Structure 1
Amino acid sequence: MNAAPEEITSLVGREVYSSNGVFVGEIEDIQLDLDARAVTGLALAELNHELFAGEVGGSTGVIVPYRWVRAVGDIVLVNDVIERYDAGEPEEEAAEDVARSEPR
């Protein structure tokens, strides 16, 4: 049975957790590639400060690449790569893809 499509804005406000159950943040905005008509990233705020300690400085959030998303439901699950980023031994992809969003 197919579920009815949801509007992309319905993601805003959902909590994001790693696949290991660690709270990452809350979706504040969606990054889109309009030409490809695809979601490319999730802008997170209300971050887990322990997870990003010392990494976001004065920034208010981060952008997580959408390809890290494993599941979307009442919450959003992302790959545990975000935890490896926190461990100080990021995959090259993690170091390149976790972008800091500008303070508002």
Structure 2
Amino acid sequence: MHADATPQEITTLVGREVYSNNGVFVGEVEDVRLDLDAQAVTGLALSQLSEELFASRIEPGKGVMIPYRWVRAVGDVILINDTIERLKDETAEEQQV
């Protein structure tokens, strides 16, 4: 999942910006969820959320948890599947109905 195979400290994820594969800003990592038995990260808690994606779904000041399996790459920023962008598409469809 990482850009290189070098192990990284979990704390280096905190504060990184998260974008979809298509370059859409999603939010910023505030915390991580761990599976201590498996010694693995299982989720990312995001804050500073994109208003474009979450305005009609999440109260201001709240965050979201995304599954770590969505992460495609970790570097200066974190790239995730474009699954998150479907929220924007669903919201647009609801408003058109």
TM-score normalised by the shorter chain: which range applies? Answer: 0.7 to 0.9
Q: CA deviation at 1:35?
A: 1.3
Q: Once the two structures are aligned, what percentage of the paired residues are identical?
A: 65
| Structure holding more helix per residue | 2
Query: Could you tell me which amino acid in structure 2 is paired with residue 50 of structure 1?
Result: E
The CA deviation string for residues 14-71 of structure 1, in whole angstroms up to 9 with x for no partner, is 0000000000000000011111111110000000011112111255110010000000
Query: Could you tell me which amino acid in structure 2 is paired with residue 63 of structure 1?
Result: M
Gaps of 5+ in 2: 92-97
Verify: 1:64 aligned to 2:81, yes or no. Answer: no
Which residue pairs with 1:32 in the alignment?
Answer: 34
- Paired residues, what number? 88
**Residues 3 and 33 of structure 1: is their aligned pair in 2 closer, same or farther, counting only changes over 3 Å?**
closer
Q: CA RMSD in A?
A: 1.6
SS in 1 for 2:85: helix
Give the TM-score of the pair, scaled to structure 1.
Answer: 0.77
Summarize the alignment of residues 41-80 of structure 1 with structure 2, pairs less than 5 Å apart. Answer: 41-58=43-60, 60-80=62-82
SS in 2 for 1:50: helix
Q: Distance in 2 between matches of 1:50 and 1:58?
A: 12
Which residue pairs with 1:96 in the alignment?
Answer: none
